[in-house]
Amino acid sequence: MPSDRIAGQIKESLASGEKFDDFAYLFDTLMLLRRPYQQDEKTSETVGGRILCLFVPDKPKKYVNAMQEFRLRFAGVSTNSELQAEFANSVRHAALIVGRPDDVVFRPSAYFFLPRRLYESLGNWF
């Protein structure tokens, strides 16, 4: 489970219909995948939060909408091993190696491949 600080931010950042456990799973998986590349856990959490759209007011609305839609397509991921594998496989190398929050670019396709089942259904993807 994410730290208390991150858990509070996840609760504030949930899209309509999104479940905490699913968002927390996505966040924890991203942190686990980033671990071999990042030394500072708190900075890595901040970077991961910016990528997955935890509440940060300076993100472009287009990015926020695209990431919320992306996360919603993983509804049930916290308990579904097929979705878990699909999410882990969608994470691009760039999401693992970006080291500073200010270096995050607000283009979802820089950090995630679209699984085949989502390719045509995500109109906001850029």
Q: pLDDT tens digits, residue range 45-59?
A: 999 999 999 876 788
Predicted pLDDT of residue 96: 98
Q: Is residue 105 included in any domain, yes or no?
A: yes
Domain count within the chain: 1
Q: Which pLDDT score, from 0 to 100, does residue 115 have? A: 74
User: How far is the C-alpha of 7 from the C-alpha of 20, rounded, in Å?
Assistant: 8
Q: Is 120 exposed, middle or buried (0-12, 13-18, 19+ CB in 10 A)?
A: exposed
pTM exceeds 0.85 for this model:
yes
Q: Does residue 32 have a pLDDT over 90?
A: yes
Contact 15, 9 (CB under 8 A): no
Q: Is the pLDDT of residue 20 over 60?
A: yes
Domain boundaries, position 108: 4-119
Question: What are the pLDDT digits (tens) for 85-104?
Answer: 999 999 999 999 999 999 99
Residue 83 in tokens:
């979705």
In this prediction, residue 123 carries a pLDDT of 61
Distance of alpha carbon 31 from the chain centroid: 10
Q: 10-19, 60-69, 112-121: which range is least confident on average?
A: 112-121
Task: Judge whether 50 lies within some domain.
Answer: yes
SS (H, E, C) 57-92: CCCCHHHHHHHHHHHHCCCCCCCCHHHHHHHHHHEC
pLDDT band of residue 126 (cuts 50, 70, 90) is low
102 inside domain: yes
In a domain, 124, yes or no: no
The predicted model gives 61-79 an average pLDDT of 92
Q: Does the residue 125 lie in any domain?
A: no
Residue 43 lies in a domain: yes
Query: What is the amino acid identity at position 2?
Result: P
| Mean pLDDT, rounded, of the chain | 89
Taking the C-alpha atoms of residue 85 and residue 81, their distance in angstroms, rounded to an integer, is: 6
